[in-house]
Every structure is written in C-alpha cells, then in structure tokens.
Amino acid sequence: MVGHVRQDKNSKKWLYSIEAGFNQNGKRKRIVKKGFRTKKEAKTAMALATNELKKEEINQITNNDITLGAYLDYWLKAYVQSSTSPNTFRGYEGIIRVHLLTGIGTIKLRDLTVQDVQNYYMEKLKIDSSENYAGLSAQTVKYHHRLLCKALNDAVDWEFINHNVALKAKAPKPVKF
C-alpha cells in the first residue's frame, strides 16, 4: 500500500491518500481523507488507516473463502513487489488486472479447477470453428499460464491450497515462424 500526504490548495487543510490495490473488476481502490489541521495529524491518521487496511487484508487472506483475485492481489504485494524488478512487477500487475481478474478472479481459490483454467485459456485464445485464433496470441496465453502456475505454487507453499491446478492445465503451444 502506497500513501502520501499533501496540502489542499484551496482550503489549506492537509489530506492523505492511500492506494489500496484493485477490486475484482480491476478498478483502483483509493482511500482519501481530508480536513487535518497539520501535516503531522494527517501522517498519523494515514499510518493508523494503513495498519487497519493491512489487518483487514490479513483477515481476508486467512479466510478459506478467498477468491483467486484477492489472492493474486495479495501475492503481488507479498512476493512480486519485493522480489522482482519494477518492470516485471508492472507486467504481472497488468496481466492480473486486465485478464485474470476479469476472467477467473471471482472463483474461490479452493474451488478453482483445471477446467476453469483451461476454459480461461480457450477464452483468451478465442478459437473459432475454423481453428483460427481471434484473441490473444498463444505465446501471450503461455505467459499467463506461467504467471498463474507461479502464483498457485506460492499458494501451495503458503498453505492456502493443497495442490496447483494450473500445472495440470495445458498451455497453448506458440506458432513457430
């Protein structure tokens, strides 16, 4: 979670803003509180709000009814942000926000099946009856497969789920030119 404190130009009051990730539809969640007399008050209130958001996130993560989208958001913050380069983080975040959250993000993590993952790949490829690809390229969907496998392997390591269903799904083979 990223936050910052600034002064409102019109009212001369201090405010804070916290970026709290993304919702299931891929839209940003931002918390803004206004009306503090001093910068110190705003910083203190922002620290309290950030701690409260982290507690809520941990409670949501430890709940067995976590969705794949909520887990992927947690995985981005807990692993990817601190362990990869900024460009890799931006790439993963884009794939998750634009494709995975809207495709299979609403499915509960423990209820995710191989068929769900395979149907997601077919939907992204958009294979029509004449075997022509109308959606994303096979190589791009293979990147999605790799990201999903890595994220679910970490979910197994962190004991959110017992096995990784993405390992059994078949990623498309890229066309060689």
Q: Examine the pLDDT at 153 and tell me if it is beyond 60.
A: yes
For residue range 73-99, list pLDDT tens digits in order.
889 988 998 899 999 999 999 999 999
Contact 174, 139 (CB under 8 A): yes
Q: β-strand 14-22 against 2-7: which pairing, if any? A: antiparallel
Percent of the chain with pLDDT over 70: 88
Residue 3, helix vs strand vs coil? strand
Q: β-strand 14-22 against 28-36: which pairing, if any? A: antiparallel
Predicted confidence band of residue 173 (pLDDT cuts 50, 70, 90): confident
**Residues sharing a CB contact under 8 Å with residue 164, sequence separation 6 or more, in sequence order:** 149, 152, 153, 155, 156
CA distance 103 to 166: 14
Q: Examine the pLDDT at 61 and tell me if it is beyond 80.
A: no
Helices 138-157/86-95 angle, 10° precision: 100
Q: Which CATH number is associated with domain 68-167?
A: 1.10.150.130
- How many Cβ atoms are within 10 Å of 160's Cβ, its own excluded? 18
Which stretch of 9-18, 52-61, 124-133 has the lowest confidence by average pLDDT?
124-133
